Chains A and B, each alone.
Chain A
Amino acid sequence: MVMKVMKEKTRKAVTFYSLVGPWFLVFLALSLLPLCFGFYLSFTNYYGFNMDNLRLVGLHNYQLVFTDTEAMYAMYRTFVYAIVSVPLTTAISLLLALLLNGAIRGLGFFRTSFYLPSIMPAITTIFIFKQLLYSSNGGFLNMVLGWFGLPEVNWLGYDFCTASLILMSAWGAGGGLLIFMAGLKGIPAALYEAASIDGAGSAQRFFRITVPLITPVIFFNLVMGLISAFQVYMQPILLNGTQLLSHPLKPNYLYAVHAFQQIFGSQRFAYGMALLWVLFVIILLFSCAVFFTSKYWVYSESD
């Protein structure tokens, strides 16, 4: 009997590892190894052709990151972009989900309309916004401004290009819609009824019931949104440029743009890896900050 149990256990373990094996091996070889390899390279003078005689340069590349005015400015612009676009997109997602909560006629149509833009190919989105909405030659947004008697704006110029970038990201806000809808559906109707009987108005019900109970989803959206916002580089490059090595206008010269173009434009691999590791640590710190403060504002069943 004991033998049989043992055998069953071993068999399970062997099966487990053969099923998980492919993922785990590729994780080791193509995630963990590159992560460490990149970290190592950030302490060398690697510039693309000297793999055979690398020289260790200590913290030189990291010093460069923090003294390079371009990198520091890019980091500041990335914070501006992330801090505006992530809460904005999350708020729009939540708002759309609230509009669709309850018995709505044509639910499927509305949901599809909001969700579809979020899965559009980035290139298609950029083409549409750049050539039609932001065009200074009869673009749609200027047309709308005109209807209200407002002056035209140079959407792709120095002053407005970051706003344009954020607006373009907000068009994809429907991506978080489905999760928010599921979260809202999960709130027991009895809670609302009880609150109504106690005389709570709709605003009170929203802020005292809906918002607290939906905070886990808001939390998840914020963390994932921040992680991806810090890495954005293709959209700002292509919003003004014509190919991936074009330089964006200065306000849209985000941190990941800098890293990407230093590596693929100037072959500064070691410096680029130092840039990316700094980004990695910042993302980790941000995620941890959101995570550790979450117990103060994220609702959990156990409280």
Chain B
Amino acid sequence: MRTHTAAGRWVHYALLAFCTLIFLMPLYLAIVNALNSWYSPPVLLPVKQEWINFYYATTLIDFWKYTGNSVILAAITVGLSTFSSGMAGYAFARLKAPGSQGLFMIVLATMMIPGIVTQIPTYILFYQMKLIDTFWPWVFWGIGGSAFYIFMYRQFFLSIPVELEEAARIDGCSFFRIYWDIILPISKPVVATVAILTFQGSWNDVTGPFMFLTEKKYPLATAMSMIGYLASGSTQVITQVSLAAGILLAIPIIVTFFIGQRNIVEGIVTTGLKA
């Protein structure tokens, strides 16, 4: 939208401000109301500063246990998936082998398979193998990486000039060495992007852990979907405390976004993908 006149410019910024207001309003309301006293109806302007609600958010349910589970799941997933997606992405970007194009078509096709159609039979298989209620499924998924990020890595590696590796190849370096010593160090933006997006996906996953784990091992997001914030002897959810918990749940997502913002924006823009 190209606006040249002063009036046009003014309208343009007014529109932007209005949209920003709409998009940020729910977050603002969450903070204001998380600080209000228990059971009061929603308010628009701040009335109280009951920071203790955040304390209750961590004590009315087994908050830290669930957070620990979230951290374990995220560590497994991010650690394994970031690495193995990168390996596969590098192979697809640089190595021609019989069948490599067919395999790449499979990578693209798997992005179109609805997750739920494979996830539930996987649950049945793991159930038969007695792997339910363990973290093993996440180890396997991690080793497999993700089609989206394999594609993202590939696009990034394709943009690196080949000459860099050719010199090393003439010196007799193996492809693994080249990947590890030359490619990875200059690929920090894409590694960071994949790591952060993988982390966010894992941290926000509610239904996967619901299927494959039981309450003791639930991560925070799943626990919060199954267990309400109630005062003892009551069945009414304490809105203020559950909002505080929702904010706490979102903090790692917001923090990682700001840490990786520049890389994420570039990564999504250069690959044209959003998982």
Contacts and interface: CB of A to CB of B under 8 A. Distances in A.
A302 interface: no
B192 to A, nearest CB: 15
A179 B268 contact: yes
A66 interface: no
A17 interface: yes
B207 A19 contact: no
B221 A121 contact: yes
B42 A20 contact: no
Contact of A23 (B1, B12, B27, B84): B84
Contacts of A117: 23, 26-27
A35 B76 CA distance: 24
Interface stretch (A76-84, A130-138, A158-166): A130-138
B250 A120 contact: yes
B117 A202 contact: no
Contacts of B25: 140
Given A116-B254, A132-B243, A138-B41, A123 B221 contact: yes
Interface string B103-120: 100110010111111111
A276 interface: yes
A272 interface: yes
Given A102-B1, A243-B225, A34 B125 contact: yes
A277 interface: yes
A150 interface: no
A8 to B, nearest CB: 9
Nearest to B256: A119
Contacts of B110: 27, 31
A30 B131 CA distance: 13
A234 B225 contact: yes
A16 B225 contact: no
A213 interface: no
A211 interface: no
Given A114-B23, A135-B42, A20 B103 contact: yes
Interface in A17-32: 17, 19-20, 22-27, 29-31
A284 B117 CA distance: 12
Given A17-B97, A20-B88, A234-B225, A259 B249 contact: no
A224 B225 CA distance: 26
Contacts of A25: 144
B91 interface: yes
A181 B92 CA distance: 27
Interface string A66-102: 0000000000000000000000000000001011111
Interface in A251-286: 256, 259-260, 263-264, 269, 272-273, 276-277, 279-280, 283-284
B237 to A, nearest CB: 7
Interface residues of A, number: 97
B91 A280 contact: no
Nearest to B235: A242
Contact of B121 (A37, A143, A244): A37
A182 B272 contact: yes
A299 interface: no
B146 to A, nearest CB: 9
A112 to B, nearest CB: 7
Nearest to A137: B41
Interface string B67-90: 000000000000000001101101
A279 B124 contact: no
Contacts of A55: none
Given A12-B95, A112-B261, A182-B272, A272 B120 contact: yes
Given A243-B226, A244-B226, A276-B117, A133 B125 contact: no
Given A22-B88, A113-B20, A243-B225, 5 more contacts: A20-B87, A96-B19, A131-B239, A242-B237, A279-B114
